[in-house]
Structure 1
């Protein structure tokens, strides 16, 4: 019914890179309904994120590599309708879990649409788009996961005990977000999108991200110390070691030969390594203090 190219633009495997927020939220709850956990995972990673990917791809009409697609095919109106269909499915499943979760999924979807839609196009504002992506893909998604996972009335506002872990997810995303734009400078500039990475430049992007990733590491260490989990600090640092090594090597190579190493492939490897490290760590954290399943 829908074209193969449209399905490719949904970039469903790309959801893997956003999965750490879900696992972190799962690890912070004392009790979880297993069925709800599965539905929340499906809503986010099989429907909501792919819907956002496809919708933004339709309006961006990228001709060069994008996150999850090295050689994106030309988009058509078919993709627009497929992305909306996935959004409707995400909303339907979310409503099954509760109205609060439904409204949060709706807000996330609308904000993601505003990111690339020509009438608003948050993407062309460097700091607004950076803060928007960091907040909504981080703290807001963490809260959304908690809302969907908790078998209880609407969690409003988010309990103080969860403010810090929610904020931590945004800190990590604020650090990694500019790196996802670093190989798209030419195409972004051609479209008139002043992304944060384009504004910072090559060295500025690496420097900016390194500061935020360092802040993220220190903040996580403080969180685990504060929550009486000092053992988790060392496991977290061990998990982050491959990320730091790759980032350092990539920065060195990019300085020497930007034409070769500031590329889609290098950026995707950064995503793969960091997402794998964080997913593994949060699953380990979940395994150490598993919530009661019902």
Structure 2
């Protein structure tokens, strides 16, 4: 029973909340909405594929220090490895019910997530390559994957600038935030021989890198919303993100005075606040984009 509980903990299902904004953004620009399909895509990604990735990476990382949403990770067993594969299989099988295209994208995402921690590849050892791949697949690739699944579109129909551009903005945002998720793990990563981007940049460098990336991402989102939607949406984005910006600068100030503040608690605080603000905004964006009437109620 205890091993089952440990496996469930390592799935880190609540962690999917941090990745939910990408799905909601793809939903907000989708023209072809069907309620059952939206729910199925949501469940496949957030309750099967993402937890499978968490479990797989936890099995090979064997973390002893804090990781995302697990302050004290329980020991891993071979059961965790097989659970991750089972969840992947179920997710791909359900994705096939929507379309072959969506199932293939889900399969490719699973392979990419496994490459991050698998000892034979372990992208985590390569600071810039690991950062680039993680941001690409959790950003623009997931955005495109969700868009294909939600709308039941083929690759060709979905592959347009109006889809790829906002998807790239999500990657830019993730490329900025990703090193921040590693800022408290320097000791753990060094012990395993992993050279994460945050470790290379250092604590202060990680904050400055994230600050520049967030600024560029914000400018990109403002351009996108003003160009394709309205100034009202662009202003709303800034207002929704204001609490995260304030938190970030307060934390940066404290870290400059005491580097021990670059810890698990503050990192999770930023992650939670950022996810809450982004999810709230993209729900607002979905409502404002006037697609609700297309749902089959």
TM-score exceeds 0.5: yes
| Residues 144 and 164, structure 2, Cα contact 8 Å, conserved in 1 | no
Show the counterpart of 1:10.
11
Task: After superposition, give the CA deviation of every residue in 1:137-184 in whole Å (9 maximum; x if it has no partner).
Answer: 000000000110113444456112222111110010000000000000
Determine the structure 1 residue equivalent to 2:177.
176
Q: Which stretch of structure 1 is more off in the superposition, 224-233 or 211-220?
A: 224-233
Scaled by the length of structure 2, the TM-score of the pair is 0.96
The aligned residue for residue 287 of structure 1 is 287
Map Cα deviations across residues 94-128 of structure 1 (whole Å, 9 max, x no partner): 11111100000000001100100000000000000
Contact 2:127 2:200 in 1 (8 A): yes
TM superposition shift of 1:68: 1.2
Question: Aligned runs of 1:155-234 on 2, under 5 Å?
Answer: 155=156, 158-234=159-235
Structure 1, unpaired ranges of 5+: none
Q: Is the 8 A contact 1:147 1:155 kept in 2?
A: no
Runs of 5+ consecutive residues of structure 2 not aligned to the other structure: none
Matches for 1:1-294 after TM superposition, within 5 Å? 3-155=4-156, 158-259=159-260, 261-291=261-291, 292-294=294-296
Secondary structure of the corresponding residue to residue 116 of structure 2:
helix
Between the aligned partners of 1:79 and 1:237, the Cα distance in structure 2 is 41
Tell which deviates more after alignment, 225-234 or 8-17.
Answer: 225-234
Work out the number of aligned pairs and report it.
293
User: For residues 70 and 57 of structure 1, what CA distance do their matches in structure 2 show?
Assistant: 13
* Aligned counterparts of 1:144 and 1:115: Cα–Cα separation in 2: 19
Q: Let me know the Cα RMSD of the aligned residues.
A: 1.1
**Distance apart, 1:288 and its partner CA:** 1.0
Partners in 2 of 1:149 and 1:157 — Cα distance? Answer: 11
Q: Could you give the per-residue CA deviations for residues 18-54 of structure 1, whole angstroms, max 9, x where no partner exists? A: 0000000000012201111000000100000000000
Q: Given that residues 91 and 105 in structure 1 are in contact (C-alpha distance below 8 angstroms), is that contact kept between their aligned partners in structure 2?
A: yes
147-156 vs 189-198, greater mean Cα deviation:
147-156
Q: CA deviation at 1:3?
A: 1.7
Q: Write the distance in 2 (CA, Å) between the matches of 1:246 and 1:173.
A: 18
Q: Whole-Å Cα distance in 2 between the matches of residues 275 and 157 of structure 1?
A: 26
Cα distance in 2 for partners of 1:174, 1:234 equals 23
Secondary structure of the residue that 1:63 maps to in structure 2?
Answer: coil
SS at match of 1:31: coil
Q: Distance in 2 between matches of 1:72 and 1:223?
A: 40
Secondary structure at the counterpart of residue 69 of structure 2: coil
Cα displacement (A) at 1:257: 1.4
Q: Which consecutive segments of 4 or more residues in structure 1 shift more than 2 A?
A: 151-157
- Whether the 8 Å contact between 2:66 and 2:73 is mirrored in structure 1 is yes
CA distance in 2, matches of 1:73, 1:208: 32
Kept after mapping to 2: 8 A contact 1:56/1:113: yes
- Over 3 Å counting, the alpha-carbon distance change for 1:35 and 1:186 in structure 2 is same
TM-score by length of 1: 0.97
Q: 3-state SS of the aligned residue for 2:163? A: helix
